[in-house]
Each structure stands twice: as C-alpha cells, then as structure tokens.
Chains A and B, each alone.
Chain A
Amino acid sequence: MKYLPLVWSALWRKPAECLLTFFAITAAFTLLTVMIGVNLTVRQIVERAPMDRLWVTSRFHNLAPPFNFPLALGAQLARIDGVVAVAASHGFSGYHVDPHDTVGVEFVDDGMRTVWSEGPITPVLWNQLSAMPLGIIVSAKAAAKWHLAKDDSFTIITEPGSRLDGGNSWEFHVLGIVPEDWNRSGPEGFILGNLQYFENAAPLDVRNWGYGYEVAITDGSRAMQISSEIDQKFANSGMSTMTIPKRVNEQTYVNRGVSTAALTFAIAGAGLAMILLLIGNATARSVRERVPEFAILQTIGFHHVHLVYLVFLEAVIPCILGAAVSTAFAGALEQWSRHFLPQVLVTFLTAPMPRLLVLVWTFGLALLLAAASSVIPLLKLRHQSVPDALAAR
C-alpha cells in the first residue's frame, strides 16, 4: 500500500499518455478476451458432447421421402452389439400467438432419459413426462421467450388437419423449467414433449414415421466402429442410416473448415503480442524518463527489489484495469452482438461461455504481460549507476 502514492503519481504524471495507453491496452485486451472466450467455448462444446452417444439420421434425407425412420427401427438398433439404450424423437412445429413466430417441440420417448442422462432433466421430471402425455419440459430460454412458468398451459397451433380429430390446436402443460444444454438447445432453447401424445393425436397416415434416433453405447472408444456397424446393417435399404458420434458432430459444427480453436488461438496470440508491445513500450518510456527519480529513491534507501515492485505495479495496473474493462465489453458483446455482428460470429459469442475460466485466463495473462513488460526496463535500471543518474549523465 505504501507504494501506491508513488505508483499513482508515476502513472498520472502525463494524464493524456496514461489514458491513451489504457485505451490501447483495453482494445487489445477486448480482442484477447473475446478470442479466449470463443476458444474455451468451442472446446467446451466438443468436450461436453459425449463420444458414447450417437446420432442416427437418414443418409439420403435430401433425396426423397421417407425423410426419417419408422418407430420400429428403434428395436433393431437396440439389438446391435454395444448399444445400451435407444431414444426416438420427432420434431413438431407450429405457432403460439403470432403465425410468423414459430415454436418447436421435440417429442421424445422414455429411452431419452438414458440416452440423455447427462442433461439437465431430473429423474422426477422424466417420470412426470412419461406419466403425462400433455406434459412438456421447457428450457430457461424458451420459457423466457414464451413467458412460461411451471404448471402453465401452452397452446400450439399447427396446420389444419394435423390432428386425427380434425383440429389443429395442441394443448400442453408445463411440467418444469430446466437450464439450457448446449448440445440440445437451439437459439431459443428447447421444449421436450411426450412422444405418446403425438402418436395418439396425429392422423393415422403420419403415425409411426418420421423419427430420428439417438443411441447410447457401452464404450465411447467403440463409437466409430458401432456407427459403422449400424450404417452397414441398414445400407442399401429403404432406411439407409448415417450414424455419427455426438462429439464428432459437434466438432464438425464448431469448425468451419478450419479449426475454430486454432483460429481463435492465433488471433488471441496476435492480441497478446500487441498488448505486450504497447505496455512494454509504455513501461520502458516511463522508466527511461524517471531514471533520476529512481536514483533518488535508491539514495534514500529503496532497494532494487522495491523498484521492482514499483515498476511491476506501474505495468500491472493498466493491464488489470484493461482486462477488467475488456471483460465487461466482452460480456456486453455477448448480450448485444446479435444486433450488429453477422450470425456466423454471434453463434459462438452467445454460446454458454465458461466465464470463470475466461476470467482466470484474462487476468492471469494480464499479470504475465505486466511481468514480461517490466523485465527489460528493470534490467536497464539495475545497471544504471546511481551517481550518474543523480547527475543526469
């Protein structure tokens, strides 16, 4: 604490210079923080996607109907060696109030509780969903968008004739609100419904068809082999499958031809280099201009280690402040980016970010940068002769 007045007077001896340095560092730190955030987010997305879960989709879905699979495929998948559980799901969409604002529900069967056991839904909620055909489980984002709370009713309107009874109104009952899960949540969260409701209410000609499958397997290391076995079993049939482990699927999603982790790492590295240049230059200049002042401090009893504290504090304060402000900017970007940035970037900026880890990295790097930028000025100071400095030679 006793050094703070000295550090403050050093920093503020040229206010304009101090502010410009701070703004420059903050801009570079903003880039660094955003890139660290995106980097950690994409890594987290991939790591959290389980290798022992597989997506089974239609290999030729873009060519011709049937676009998905019959309900009976589930039993065949379950008999494949290494498969632990199979879950069927069926997409469904309509609107709630505004016909232009669509809402989707994913109807799932009871197998989903095993296949998606890592998800945010408790066993009690799963039991409730199984027991109540009208029940839906709503994620936090979806609940916020549709203003839903537990035990609310929710009506979705679909195309005429989408129900066996001739109606097009689907009533639901909200069983609970759950946190988001990146592997399932879309931009507006998710809503899960009971597949039995759909099968009981849909017209006869659409029942038993249109299902996608998720599969849990015993061992993630066999994921590629089991995927291949599933595809071979159904190859050249009317239900040709394309099976892919969830983790591989997420890897493909987060990378756009080049590894997003590598790209953001490289840009973050550039940001880091820029901060080092800026703070290094500012620290070196400050020390150079204050050599006589340091000599006086040494004359009145300050040891070199005290000068190390002073110079390091002078470098670390703008770095820490820049890191703090940039973290706030990055947070604001997460909130507002969708209004002014292209969708391709917004996807990663608005994904659930490991905030604590981003903070640790940003502030850790701020300390390291401050230390690195102090090294050369301190070495010069160490070799400076005190009498020469006092005589301004």
Chain B
Amino acid sequence: MALVRQSVVLSLLSVSTLRERIATALTIVLSMAVVACVLVSTLSVTAGINREFRAGTAPDLAIVLPAQNGFEASSGILRSQIGTILDAPGIARDRKGNLLGDAELSLYVQPTKHVFSGGALHVRGMKAAGLAMRAPLRVVSGRMFESGRQELVIGTTAEHGFGLKVGDSVIMRNGTWPIVGAFEAAGVTGDELFGDADTLATLITHQSALGSVHVKLENPAKFAAFKRWLTTNPALHVSVQTQLEYNGLLAADQSQYFTAMAFFAGAIMSIGALFGSVNILYGVVSARTREMAILRGVGYEAVAVAGSIVFEALSLAGCGALLGAALAWMLFDGREVMKNDIVYRCVVSPQLVLLGFTWVLVLAILGSIFPAVRAARLQVIAAMRVA
C-alpha cells in the first residue's frame, strides 16, 4: 500500500515539474505525435477500404465460384451447373416463394474518359433475384434496367467517380449502352453498373458460363450446411465463401500497399522516436538526480522512483498519441480516395486511434525502461555528492 502511495506521489511530482523541462517534454510529445499521425493517417486508407467492402454485405450472403478461380470477373460457372447450385439447402426465398439466389456476370469495361485511378467500369449482370438480395437498393434517378435490353444503371458512387450520369452511354463491344438510371447502395455495390445478365452475356464468347452464383441464406447458421452440400457434390467443382469473406479478400488486396507503407514508415519512425525518448529520459534522470537522491534518502522505494519515470514517459507519449490521432482525423477522416474502380472515404476509426495509442505507449515503455532502471539504482550518497 505504501508503495502504491509513494508511486502516486512521485508520479504526480514528475508531472508537476514538467514545466521546468518543457522543451524536452515537448520533444517527446511531438515525436510520438508524428509517429501516431503517420501510422493512423496511412492506415485510415486501409480502414476506409475495409469499411467500403464490408458495408452493404451481410453474414447471410454467400458466393459460389469455380474452385480453380478465386475472382468473379475471371471465373466461369457453367449454366448447366447453376440449377444444381440453387438446389443446395438453406437458400432463402422471398414472399412469393422465389429463390433469393442466381448466377451473375461480372466484367470490366474501360471508361470513355481515362480516370486518375486507371480504374475500369465494373459492370455486373444480374436478374431480379440479384436486385432483391441487394436491398436496400434505391433508384434515385431514371429507372431500373429491363431484361433483354442493352442498357445499364449506375451506382451513385461510380457516377461520381467516373463523371458519368443518367443519359450518358458506355461503349460496349457491340455498341453503346445508355445509362437509364442511377441507384444508391451501400459499400462497393454503389461503385458498380448493373445490367441484364443474359444480355451482357452476349458480349462474351464463353456464353455457356456465367461468373458466379450469389445467394441469400435463410440465416447465417445455414452457411456450413450449404457449403458442405456444394463442395462435396461430385457433379460440381466449386468454392463457397460468405460475401464477407470474399469481400475481405478483395479489401486485403486493395489495401496492401497502404498497410505496407504505414507499417514500414511507422516502424522506422518508431526506432527514431525510441532512441530519442531513451536519450531524453536519461537526461531527465540526470537533471533530477538530486531530487531523486533526496526522495530515496527520506525513504521512498527504488521501484516507486523508477515507476515515476515510466509514468512520465507514458503521460507524455499519451498526449503525443492524442495529438497525432487528432491531426490524422482532421487531415484524413472522410477524405475521398479512388482506387481502381472504387471510391473510398478514409476512416480514422476508434480502433485505429487505439492502435496508434497502444503503439506509442509501447514505445514509451520500451524507451523508459533503461532510464527507470538507472533511476532505481542511484546510490543515494553518491547521487547527492554528484548533484
């Protein structure tokens, strides 16, 4: 108990004397702020990408792809297999008893005007079940595409990202397809253009196959049985994932550059901040040698003295982390980034702030260990003589 009381007293004493060491204290605060800011800012792009891919999906949505092909746009499920896949157990039905699942086609078409991100328009062919599964999906202008017609509807995010609007056309292989409507949807769905699956299939040579099968399950618990039924069926050779898993893979692929850059820059800066804080805290111990010697002389424990050094480092680093996270939030939160065909908004999420905070506090602990040990091992008489 006495040790705790001593620790509290010494920690408060450390903090109360910071004004006398304002320059060194500010150096620790600012260098930790820089580390937290770089880490949180760069990872805010990754967080934005992850949020975009998670939004609009649900644990009861599943996707079936050919086993050998991991991505919708390059895959092909034979039309003859689609009926078998839709026979799998656990697929939900709408009020009229129609299955909430169908084959879809996914393809990329170059925009007429080049965009900075180099992205291509993501066109998805679907039928009524595909639209029903993506609820809530709202037509905000024009109308929905009709089956059998060479026309498209565009997500509002794609509209914004590619500078297209209702009434414009998209050059397709067999002619120009008008955009007849715009829809609003959450997540990456809003970055796509929709058209009739069978009409779009006339554009591709391998018309005997469609890209993937999307289904809505009765509930997420049905996924295991659904997957088992499909993957153990000898007539099929498919892989089954929840839409969340599939989108997670796409998000990881899209965000790896920013994640790598964040941890690469963060790690190097942390080494600098670590050496810097060790140096400064050694200086603090030197400057407070007399004070510490007196405290030890009047009965304060070595552990309490060491703890006050660690506490001081943690307090300063915590202020730095808050400052860095606040800067990152002001500069990046909500900022729009277009990568390939998808528009994201950077997110400085609470988890990210917590990561920055933890990262910096770990640095502070590592940086304060050796100075704290030195403070604890001060020989009282010698220290008073030196001082």
Contact = CB atoms under 8 A, between A and B. Distances in A.
B31 A256 contact: no
Contact of A341 (B110, B112, B204, B264): B264
B114 A244 contact: yes
Given A62-B74, A257-B337, A285-B283, 6 more contacts: A21-B279, A255-B116, A258-B337, A277-B27, A341-B260, A345-B260
10 contacts: A17-B279, A21-B279, A24-B271, A60-B203, A252-B117, A255-B118, A256-B257, A267-B38, A284-B23, A341-B260
B256 interface: yes
Interface in B335-352: 337-340, 344
Contacts of B112: 231
B203 A64 contact: yes
B269 A271 contact: yes
A255 B272 contact: no
Interface of A: 16-17, 20-21, 23-28, 30-31, 34-35, 59-60, 62-65, 231, 235-236, 240, 242, 244, 248-249, 251-253, 255-258, 263, 266-267, 270-271, 273-275, 277-278, 280-282, 284-285, 341-342, 344-345
B240 interface: no
Interface residues of B, number: 57
A35 to B, nearest CB: 8
B224 interface: no
Given A16-B282, A270-B34, A257 B339 contact: yes
Given A253-B118, A277-B276, A63 B204 contact: yes
Contacts of A273: 30, 34
Interface stretch (B4-12, B167-175, B303-311): B167-175
Contacts of A266: 41
A278 B31 contact: yes
| 10 tightest Cβ-Cβ pairs between the two chains A and B | A257-B339, A252-B118, A64-B205, A24-B275, A27-B272, A20-B279, A28-B272, A27-B271, A24-B276, A281-B27
Contacts of A62: 73-74, 107-108
A17 B73 contact: no
Contacts of B116: 251-252, 255
Contacts of B269: 27-28, 31, 270-271, 274
A274 B256 contact: no
Residue among A20, A235, A341 with max Cβ neighbours from chain B (10 Å): A20
Interface of B: 23-24, 27, 30-31, 34-35, 37-38, 41-42, 45, 73-74, 107-110, 112, 114, 116-118, 171, 173-176, 203-206, 256-258, 260-261, 264-265, 268-269, 271-276, 278-280, 282-283, 337-340, 344
Contacts of A63: 107, 173, 203-205
A59 B275 CA distance: 54
Contact of A274 (B23, B31, B205): B31
A248 B268 CA distance: 32
B257 A24 contact: no
Nearest to B262: A267
Nearest to B275: A24
B275 to A, nearest CB: 4
A248 B272 contact: no
A253 to B, nearest CB: 7
Nearest to B27: A281
Contacts of B38: 267, 270
A281 B24 contact: yes
A64 B206 contact: yes
Contacts of A284: 23
Nearest to A329: B268
Nearest to A275: B272
Contacts of A285: 23-24, 283
Given A64-B206, A242-B110, A252-B116, A274 B283 contact: no
Main secondary structure on A side of the interface with B: helix
A236 B171 contact: yes
B283 A17 contact: yes
B264 A274 contact: no
Contacts of A252: 114, 116-118
B173 A240 contact: yes
Given A62-B73, A344-B256, A236 B279 contact: no
Contacts of A59: 109-110, 171, 173
Nearest to B115: A252
A56 to B, nearest CB: 12
Contacts of B206: 64
Contacts of A27: 268-269, 271-272, 275
Nearest to B268: A31
A274 B34 contact: yes
B279 A24 contact: yes
B175 A236 contact: yes
Residue among A248, A266, A267, A284 with max Cβ neighbours from chain B (10 Å): A267
A231 B275 CA distance: 58
B203 A20 contact: no
Contacts of B74: 62
A240 B73 CA distance: 20
A60 B173 contact: yes
A24 B340 CA distance: 38
A255 B45 CA distance: 14
Nearest to B331: A266
Contacts of B27: 277-278, 280-281
A274 B320 CA distance: 13
Nearest to A244: B114
Nearest to B203: A63
A257 B173 contact: no
A102 to B, nearest CB: 20
A256 B171 contact: no
A366 to B, nearest CB: 15
A59 B117 CA distance: 17
Given A27-B272, A244-B114, A65 B282 contact: no
B269 to A, nearest CB: 6
A236 B174 contact: yes
Given A60-B173, A281-B27, A256 B339 contact: yes
A65 B268 contact: no
Nearest to B339: A257
Contacts of B275: 20-21, 23-24, 27
B265 A31 contact: yes
B110 to A, nearest CB: 5
A20 B114 contact: no
Contacts of A235: 171, 176
Contact of A281 (B107, B280, B338): B280
Contact of B171 (A16, A26, A240, A345): A240
Contacts of A248: 114
A255 B205 CA distance: 33
A235 B23 CA distance: 67
Contact of B261 (A23, A25, A263, A278): A263
A235 B204 CA distance: 17
B113 to A, nearest CB: 9
B212 to A, nearest CB: 15
A277 B31 contact: yes
